[in-house]
Amino acid sequence: MKAYILKRLLSMIPVLLIVAIFVFFLIHMIPGDPAAVMLGPEATPEEVESLKEELGLNLPIYQQFFEWSLHALQGDLGNSLYMNQPVLDAFTSHLGPTLSLALLAQGVSIFLAIPIGVLAARKRGTGIDRTFMIIAMLGMSIPSFLLALLLMLVFGVQLNWLPVAGYTSLSEGLWEHLKYLILPAISLGTIQAAVIARMTRSSMIDILSMNFIKTAKAKGLKQKVVIYKHAFRNALIPILTILGETFGALITGAVVTETVFNLPGIGQLVINAITRRDYAVIQGTILLIAVTYLFLNLIIDLLYGLVDPRVRLNRK
């Protein structure tokens, strides 16, 4: 196990290196410069030039890359030109809303998807199964901004039950924190639920047709025990994979949902950094997102071993 983890950690290095090189040169290849954005459209070329000089943006590109990499290796991802703060601080301050939203949205999707998927598999071919799968299909096809705006209009504007947009951190109270996240979590979670429910259904159908389930039923075990203890646990591996993927997508920035609900999360940070051409933030954030993704994948792989004892990670 330890050897496996170490091997996986070491294999992250080349991946991160490729990401770093790719992002750095890609963002510098795109036209537009941060000094022009900072000074506004009516700034004269001399003003822009002198700010570029002061910000060190006129150095040769390879020199900028070398300096950035050297600092990044020491854990210093540079400073945001636009926000006047270290990139790591910007990342961590934007991570809170994203993490809360991801957890809540994942909660919503699991709460909806697992029972629906299991039920649809049990009632395979019946009206219930078809209804749920049509709803799931619809859920997958709805653009997230549409559902977000609809929820906002109903629960925010018309009923005034919940705030339309914004964010308050957990330190100001649980309800203050949650009330801003409920609508975005529902809008994100429902759409994710559609994907997870379909996967749960098909995985459960596969397992339910296996001989050991028939044996369990023949032994006279209760339906609940057969479904949840025998079938569901065995169906969990593909579900876990999809949960890992959806959580990864949630945590690395639900850009549209964050924009519509005005949550200052990672998605917004990246989008704003791109429009501001805030190079250090783009590079640093993408690198940190890559790290997060790699760690999430590792955790999911380790979880396989826990769920299914047949998976022996240290053998490979």
Give the binding site for other proteins (CB under 8 A): 30-33, 36-47, 51, 54-55, 81-85, 90, 93-94, 119, 128, 131, 149-150, 152-160, 163-167, 259-262, 264, 268-269, 272, 275-277
DSSP letters, 7-51, are: HHHHHHHHHHHHHHHHHHHHHHHSS--HHHHHH-TT--HHHHHHH
Rounded CA-CA distance 230/273 in Å is 49
Residue 148 C-beta: closest distance to other proteins, Å: 9
- Residue (144 or 234) nearer to other proteins, CB: 144
Residue 1 C-beta: closest distance to other proteins, Å: 40
- Residue (13 or 46) nearer to other proteins, CB: 46
- Residue (55 or 313) nearer to other proteins, CB: 55
- Residue (17 or 170) nearer to other proteins, CB: 170
Residue 85 C-beta: closest distance to other proteins, Å: 7
Residue 200 C-beta: closest distance to other proteins, Å: 16
Residue 277 C-beta: closest distance to other proteins, Å: 5
Alpha helices in the chain (DSSP H): 2-29, 34-39, 45-55, 61-73, 87-122, 127-141, 144-151, 174-179, 182-208, 211-218, 223-224, 232-251, 255-260, 266-276, 279-307
Residue 90 C-beta: closest distance to other proteins, Å: 6
Tokens of 162: 């919940």
Residue 55 C-beta: closest distance to other proteins, Å: 7
- Residue (54 or 67) nearer to other proteins, CB: 54
Residue 165 C-beta: closest distance to other proteins, Å: 5
Residue 304 main-chain phi, psi, to 5 deg:
-50, -45
C-alpha gyration radius of the chain: 24
- Residue (145 or 212) nearer to other proteins, CB: 145
Tokens of 263: 């949550």
- Are 196 and 247 in contact by the 8 Å Cβ rule? The answer is no
- Residue (97 or 244) nearer to other proteins, CB: 97
Residues whose CB falls within 8 Å of the CB of residue 203, separated by 6 or more in sequence, listed in order: 117, 235, 236, 237, 238, 239
- Residue (11 or 126) nearer to other proteins, CB: 126
Buried/exposed code over 112-137 (b: 16+ C-beta within 10 A; e: otherwise): bbbebbbbbbbeeeeeebeebbeebe
